[in-house]
Amino acid sequence: MYVAAKGGERAIESAHRLLAETRRGDPAVPELSLAQIDQQLALAVDRVMVEGSLHDRELAALAIKQAQGDLIEAVFLLRAYRTTLPRLGASLPLDTMRMSVRRRISATFKDVPGGQILGPTFDYTHRLLDFDLADPGDPADPGRRAGEPAPEPGRSASPAGAAPRAPDPLPRVVDLLDREGLIEPEAPPPEEAPVGDLTREPLQFPAPRDVRLQNLARGDEGFVLALGYATQRGYGRNHPFAGEIRQGEVTVELVPEELGLAIEIATISVTECQMVNQFRGSAVAPPQFTRGYGLVFGNAERKAMAMALVDRALRCRELGEAPTSPTQDEEFVLYHSDSVEASGFVQHLKLPHYVDFQSELVLVRDLRAAAGALPGA
């Protein structure tokens, strides 16, 4: 009797054992290594690092393995680990002009200083299933064309690949517009201003732009993508052009208080998107292009672009545009972007709610009895 909603300790332990067994699958199939996930499911690792707000490929790969490939669950695992780490300090702003570029394109000019660099992209691939991949092939160099000499061992395994590099520093396309005054200037915040961190301080509205960008970068890719798409279809339209998308490695620098000078602590891979958006001008300002910005870990162009669209939509108030769409509503966007929060709250409906439901039953029966529909319960 009455066991449906009551589980108890044994049921939970059995469920965990069954989960572990399901995760492993058929033991006759070799187990995945973290290095395999890191190297061959690299974009999944990137996404988990972006939404998990933690740059650590090995931990992200572990989370993906533990979560059986459920990336939202993997993000949750990584976040729950991240929350236990001490916050040592804030790095200097990344200088993406000095990025070691793997890919760099601009849709606003036919050619730009430094050139258009296609890099490793799904763009222009025909989405035909490649049945050759079904069987493990020649491990030497899958990217090598017939007749090309084999690379030195170990070289193709490097995440940076063997692609030719653009010279650095590589000027940013929007800076060229900036020089002409065609695009709104972007003044860096004062150096002593603290860097916002919504994982330490609760969101307050209106949220400063650094916190908004942090929220969007951590936000669920599907949610941010859908909102970005909605802006293109007229919900908070902002006439975007992809001014520049660049992807590659940047150096992270930190100034330790006791040292007083910048030291390099890491080289990480990031994708940056600068959208150029139309602005018709106002009574006090002549027409000028405006900016939307996206920056994420790894190779995550779709996310960076969507983020830049939503960033621009959320800037409506500061640019004097009347907010008319949910995409321009800061609370709507920032409160609902987080997959870990959303997934937890949606799924908490699985928890027993029979006490509140009993209250509702009592009320509805009383109301129906009062209306003469049924004898009172």
Partner 1 sequence: MSAYNFAFLDEHTKRMIRRAILKAVAVPGYQVPFGSREMPLSYGWGTGGVQVTASVIGPDDVLKVIDQGADDTTNAVSIRKFFERTTGVPTTTRTDQATLIQSRHRIPETPLRAGQILVLQVPIPEPLRWLEPREAETRKMHALEEYGVMHVRLYEDITRHGRVAQTYEYPVLVNGRYMMRPSPIPKFDNPKLDMSPALLLFGAGREKRIYAVPPHTRVKSLDFEDHPFEVEHWDRPCALCGVRGVFLDEIIVDDKGGRMFACSDTDHCARRRPGGAPGPDGA
> Pattern 191-210, binding to partner 1, x per CB under 8 A?
--------xxxxxxxx----
> Pattern 20-49, binding to partner 1, x per CB under 8 A?
------------------------------
Closest distance of CB 68 from partner 1, Å = 17
**Contact yes or no for 195/90 (Cβ under 8 A):** yes
d(CA 23, CA 11): 18
Instruction: Report the residue from 1, 88, 146, 373 that binds partner 1 according to the rule CB under 8 A.
Output: 1
**Contact yes or no for 229/307 (Cβ under 8 A):** no
Q: Judged by CB, which is closer to partner 1: 151, or 323?
A: 323
- Please state, as a whole number, how many other Cβ atoms lie within 10 Å of the Cβ of residue 52: 25
Q: Is 326 exposed, middle or buried (0-12, 13-18, 19+ CB in 10 A)?
A: middle
CA distances from 312 to 105, 190, 225, 244 (A): 20, 22, 14, 15
Element containing residue 269 per DSSP (H, E): strand 263-277
d(CA 174, CA 289): 10
> Pattern 72-91, binding to partner 1, x per CB under 8 A?
----x--xx-xxx-x-----
Does 372 bind partner 1 (CB under 8 A)? Our answer is no
Q: How many residues bind partner 1 (CB under 8 A)?
A: 49
Among positions 319-338, residues that touch partner 1 (CB under 8 A) are 331, 335
Q: Judged by CB, which is closer to partner 1: 68, or 358?
A: 358
Q: Judged by CB, which is closer to partner 1: 2, or 124?
A: 2
Tokens matching residue 62: 């572990």
Q: Judged by CB, which is closer to partner 1: 1, or 129?
A: 1
Closest distance of CB 329 from partner 1, Å = 8
> Pattern 345-364, binding to partner 1, x per CB under 8 A?
xxxx--xxxxxx-xxxxxx-
Bin 147: left if φ > 0, else alpha if -120 < ψ < 50, else beta.
Answer: left
d(CA 297, CA 51): 9
Sign of CA dihedral 340, 254, 244, 301: negative
Does 11 bind partner 1 (CB under 8 A)? Our answer is yes
Site for partner 1, rule CB under 8 A: 1-2, 5-9, 11-12, 76, 79-80, 82-84, 86, 199-206, 331, 335, 340-341, 343-348, 351-356, 358-363, 366-367, 370
